[in-house]
Amino acid sequence: MKSAEKDMSIEKLGVRENLSGRAFNICKYNGLTTLGSILRHYEVHGKFSNIRNCGVMANNELLSLVNKHKTLLSKPGNIEDKENGASEKNVHTLLCEMLKRNFKTSPRIAKKITSKNDLSKGIPIFTTLKLLIEEGLFFNDQERYVFKNNMAVFQNNQVEVLRKSADHLRITTERVRQIRNNTYEKLISKMALFKDIPLKYLDLHRLKKDDALPVVRLRYINEISDTEDVNFTTDLINLVLQIILEEEYSLIGNIQNKIFQKHVSGVYFWKHSYLISNNLSSCCDFPAFIQHIHNLKLEKAQKSKTIEINSLLKSYRNITNPVLQKLILETASYIVSMEFPDNYKEPGRIIIHRNTLKTLPEFIYETIQDAKEPLSIFEITKNIKNKYPNKNININSVKATCVKDPRFISMSHFKYALSEWEIESERIKGGSLRKLTTDFLATRPEPVHIDEIIKHIRKYRKGIFPGNLKTNLKLAGSSRFVFYPGDKVGLPGKGQ
């Protein structure tokens, strides 16, 4: 009787159990054409969401069907037991089966993975990925070379230009580009194989199926890399996790462009990628929101302005639920703080800095003021270029401006401070060493020993030595300074 019931076709089962059209089509499309095949799939995988086009509702419907016929299972019991706990034995068995089925590997590979990892937490996804790549089971030799050298997937690894890889592999640049695209697609398709394994048997670290975070913080991703002792970039880790957890998370950040290090004109190049809960990504267009901020930064701004992030979000979210709105704001604020740290201002605001009609003296003034200490013309130039990449300046123009503009005072041949600091601080005094010496000697009725001059000058200039100062003053000539026996120096007309 049980055997006959298991052989019931999906057509008869659909009528008898009143299956929805979607559940019926999913089963038929994926070869689950009898009640027995549906039950066997459950016994192996513990769910149906791992088959093509099966969403949450269809998965729940099929689980209810299994529950109704659980007496036909090889080990009848509560259907929910399939989703609880994972023994090391079961994890090891599933790992071996997956490797053998998809990669034709021997138990040797599984042993390498299990010998250094705690399987009670599940299969270590990234340790497994790393080993499969090293063993040549993921890519062929050319693909593996391109994966390592032309894709940003390993930390502290400089991505080669395609021409260099083409020369190494003795193929054309276009062929390298094709291999890179194919390697990326192969990575996605092979990692999708992990979706056949119930999530309870995978080590997802902090990312639990029933506890999806609004946005996965980058520090969590870094913890994964440290825990599994792999040197993958956060972008690759995010990509792999999203493939496996696509029902819970979306991945934003132009991930393919980031991994290829491909810059597209007019399109924002993300600093990071982010796993966003589907509950939020489905009701807010985060990529368009970030692109908008990028565009605002590029627009002409005659003065700095502060904008509320929440007001910008109104054009990109399509939800009125206050709880979701709050989560979207928190998520957007986190992303903005990571992507535009110089523009983010807590709580929930961004500053669009003035970027037009600002003269070079204003840029220099702002740079020195932000530093709160004298800067060399080299430091000034570098800081301005870092903050305003589109600003066309050079060291010569910075020096000429500092020399001419009264708002700046020279602290040495190449270092400048703000003139106003002379009034505010007793430790700041502009001018060359000769000027500082002249001003000091002008207050003394007779020549002064070089050590006394050094003591005075060191209030304003550190690292000055008697020999250096004496040489500097002598180069000025006798018209400015007079040298007396005993290392004394005076001004003309103030002799001993």
What's the CA gap between 209 and 83, in Å, rounded?
A: 11
What does the domain layout of the chain look like in residue ranges? 2-83, 88-275, 283-352, 360-424, 433-490
- Its CATH class, for the domain covering 433-490, is mainly alpha
How far is the first Cα of the chain from the last one, in angstroms, to the nearest whole number?
127
Selected from 3.10.105.10, 1.10.10.10, 3.40.50.2300, 3.40.50.300, the CATH number assigned to the domain covering 360-424 reads 1.10.10.10
Q: Do domains 2-83 and 433-490 have the same CATH topology?
A: no
- Please state, in angstroms and rounded to a whole number, the distance separating the CA atoms of residues 433 and 439: 10
CA dist list (Å): 450 to 372, 442, 458, 480, 484: 31, 15, 12, 15, 10
Q: What is the pLDDT of residue 112?
A: 81
Structural class in CATH, domain 2-83: mainly alpha
pLDDT along the chain (496 residues), means of 10: 73 86 86 87 82 81 86 59 54 81 77 77 89 90 95 92 95 96 94 83 72 76 85 94 90 95 92 93 95 91 88 92 92 95 89 80 91 91 90 90 90 84 80 86 88 86 81 82 88 73
Output the pLDDT for position 75.
Answer: 54
Nearest to 200 by CA among 64, 91, 70, 49: 91
**pTM for the structure as a whole:** 0.57
Instruction: Give the pLDDT confidence score for residue 496 in this predicted structure.
Output: 58
Residues facing residue 34 across a β-bridge: 9
11: phi then psi, degrees, rounded to nearest 5? -65, -50
Phi and psi at residue 202, in whole multiples of 5°?
A: -110, 140
Looking at residue 86, what is its pLDDT?
A: 52
> What gap in Å lies between CA 104 and CA 257, rounded to an integer?
32
Angle between helices 56-68 and 10-17 (to 10 degrees): 90
* Alpha helices for 215-374 (secondary structure H): 218-227, 234-244, 255-260, 278-281, 286-298, 309-313, 322-339, 360-371
Helices and strands (H, E) in the chain, number of each type: 25, 11
Tokens 């932000």 found at: 370
> How is residue 28 written in tokens?
């038929």
Which residue reads 């006959």 in tokens? 4
